Amino acid sequence: MCGATEGGLSLDGIDVKKEAIVQGQVVRGGEPVGNAYVRLLDRTGEFTAEVPTSATGHFRFFAGDGDWTLRTLAPKSEPVDKKVHASVGTVAEVVVAI
């Protein structure tokens, strides 16, 4: 096993036991969406971080334990919010359909 999620981002070099990872892919009609932005909002809705999606629509955050909201902003799409729970030692895999 190479440590990569099937079709997703590689976890090589990341000590998952010490991190709370939220990662995934933004898709439209089943196709990856590059040139989108994913924001990480805390449980009160406050902005914490933002990353662009890769050409394959992938993104990753290193978050703290708890409940988060992913807000996805993409061209020709309304913002999409998706709830996610992060905890140290796990990888929360999320697919955001816009």
Q: Quick check: is 63 in a domain?
A: yes
SS3 content of the chain, % helix, strand, coil (to 5): 5, 55, 45
- Cα 16–17–21 angle (5° rounding)? 40
Q: Which of 7-11, 45-49, 73-77 has the lowest mean pLDDT?
A: 7-11
In a domain, 9, yes or no: no
Q: What is the pLDDT of residue 13?
A: 72
What pLDDT, in 10s, does the model give residues 11-50?
A: 777 777 788 999 999 999 999 999 999 999 999 999 999 9
Asked whether residue 59 is domain-assigned, the answer is yes
The predicted structure's pLDDT at residue 30: 93
Q: Is residue 4 domain-resident? A: no
| Cα angle, residue 36 at apex, residues 86 and 25 outer, rounded to 5° | 45
pLDDT given for residue 37 in this prediction: 98
pTM of the predicted model over 0.75: yes
Q: Which pLDDT value is given to residue 7?
A: 55
13: Cβ contacts below 8 Å, ≥ 6 apart: none
In the chain, the number of structural domains is 1
